[in-house]
Amino acid sequence: MTPFTGEIPHKVVIAHENITDRKIAENRYKDSEQRLRLVLDISPNCIFIEDSDGRFILVNQAVADLYGTTIPAMIGKTQKEISPFGFYASGGAHGNAASGSDGDEKKEISFTTADGNIRWFKNVQVPISFPNFPNCLLSFCIDITDQRLAQEALRNSELRLKTILDAQTSMIVLVDPRMRVLWPNREACRVAGMSRQEIIGRPCHALWKDQKAACDDCPVVDAFQNGKKYSIHKKTPDGRVWRIHGFPVRDDAGAIVSAVEVSEDITQRVALEDQLRQAQKMESLGTLAGGIAHDFNNILSAIMGYTELAMEGVDPSAKAHGYIKEVHRAGVRATDLARQILTFSRRTNTDLLPLNIGIIVKEVLKLLRSTLPSSITIKQQIDKKLDPILADPTQIHQIVMNLCTNASHAMEPYGGILEVKLTQSDFTEGMVSTMPNLAPGSYLRLDISDTGCGMPPEIMASIFDPYFTTKDLGEGTGLGLSVVHGIVKDYGGDISVRSTVGEGSTFSILFPAVKAQINKNKSTVEEALPNGSERILMIDDEPVILKVIGDLLSKYGYQVTAENDSLLALEHFKERPDNFDLVLSDVTMPKITGDRLAKEMLAIRPDLPIILCTGYTRLVTEQTIEPIGVRALLHKPVVKSKLLMAIRRLLDEPVAVY
Nearest 10 degrees: CA dihedral of 97, 101, 106, 112?
A: -20
Please report the pLDDT score of residue 432 as a whole number: 55
601 pLDDT tier (thresholds 50, 70, 90): very high
Q: Is the pTM of this model over 0.75?
A: no
Asked whether the predicted pLDDT for residue 520 surpasses 50, the reply is: no
42 pLDDT tier (thresholds 50, 70, 90): confident
Residue 45 near residue 142 (C-beta atoms within 8 A)? yes
CB atoms within 10 A of CB 70: 12
Mean pLDDT of 326-345: 69
Distance CA 446, CA 344 (A): 20
Distance CA 658, CA 367 (A): 54
127-136, 289-298, 475-484: range with lowest mean pLDDT: 475-484
99 pLDDT tier (thresholds 50, 70, 90): very low
Residue 174 near residue 161 (C-beta atoms within 8 A)? no
DSSP code string of 270-333 = HHHHHHHHHHHHHHHHHHHHHHHHHHHHHHHHHHHHHHHHHHHTS-TTSHHHHHHHHHHHHHHH
Orientation angle between helical segments 319-344 and 480-490, nearest 10 degrees: 60
Asked whether the predicted pLDDT for residue 523 surpasses 70, the reply is: no
Asked whether the predicted pLDDT for residue 222 surpasses 80, the reply is: yes
Distance CA 55, CA 267 (A): 73
Cα 11 versus chain centre, distance: 124
Please report the pLDDT score of residue 580 as a whole number: 93
Exposed / middle / buried, residue 496 (Cβ in 10 Å: 0-12, 13-18, 19+) = exposed
Across all residues in the chain, what is the average pLDDT? 81
Asked whether the predicted pLDDT for residue 618 surpasses 70, the reply is: no
Asked whether the predicted pLDDT for residue 239 surpasses 80, the reply is: no
Asked whether the predicted pLDDT for residue 131 surpasses 50, the reply is: yes
Please report the pLDDT score of residue 605 as a whole number: 92
> Which helix (H) or strand (E) element contains residue 633?
strand 632-635
* One-letter identity of residue 461: A
**pLDDT tens across 466-505, in order?**
655 555 433 444 456 878 888 888 888 888 899 999 899 9
Strands 416-427 and 376-382 turn out to be parallel
Judged by DSSP in three states, 262 sits in strand
284-293, 365-374, 546-555: range with lowest mean pLDDT: 284-293
287-291, 396-400, 478-482, 584-588: range with lowest mean pLDDT: 478-482
φ and ψ at residue 82, rounded to 5 degrees: -85, -45
Distance CA 370, CA 372 (A): 6
Asked whether the predicted pLDDT for residue 604 surpasses 90, the reply is: yes
Asked whether the predicted pLDDT for residue 91 surpasses 50, the reply is: no
Mean pLDDT of 322-333: 79
Residue 342 near residue 616 (C-beta atoms within 8 A)? yes
Please report the pLDDT score of residue 617 as a whole number: 61
Residue 348 near residue 395 (C-beta atoms within 8 A)? no
Q: Which of 658, 618, 639, 635 is nearest to 289 (CA)?
A: 618
Distance CA 599, CA 629 (A): 8
Please report the pLDDT score of residue 647 as a whole number: 93
Distance CA 137, CA 103 (A): 10
Distance CA 604, CA 202 (A): 87
Judged by DSSP in three states, 512 sits in strand
Report helix, strand and coil shares of the chain as percent, to nearest 5.
40, 25, 35
Using a pLDDT cut of 90, give the percent of the chain over it: 22
Region for residue 538 given its phi and psi (left: phi exceeds 0; alpha: psi -120 to 50; beta: otherwise): beta
Distance CA 109, CA 95 (A): 8
* One-letter identity of residue 617: T
In order of their start, the domains of the chain are 31-149 (3.30.450.20), 168-265 (3.30.450.20), 353-512 (3.30.565.10), 535-652 (3.40.50.2300)
176-185, 252-261, 292-301, 506-515: range with lowest mean pLDDT: 292-301
Asked whether the predicted pLDDT for residue 191 surpasses 70, the reply is: yes
Question: How much is the CA Rg of the chain, to the nearest whole Å?
Answer: 50
* One-letter identity of residue 307: T
Residue 633 near residue 594 (C-beta atoms within 8 A)? no
* One-letter identity of residue 544: V
219-223, 406-410, 515-519, 644-648: range with lowest mean pLDDT: 515-519
Please report the pLDDT score of residue 423 as a whole number: 93
Residue 173 near residue 200 (C-beta atoms within 8 A)? no
448 pLDDT tier (thresholds 50, 70, 90): very high
**pLDDT tens across 6-26, in order?**
444 555 555 556 677 667 766
Contacts from 246-253 at CB under 8 Å and sequence distance 24+? 246/218, 246/219, 246/220, 246/221, 246/222, 247/223, 248/223, 248/224, 249/174
657 pLDDT tier (thresholds 50, 70, 90): low
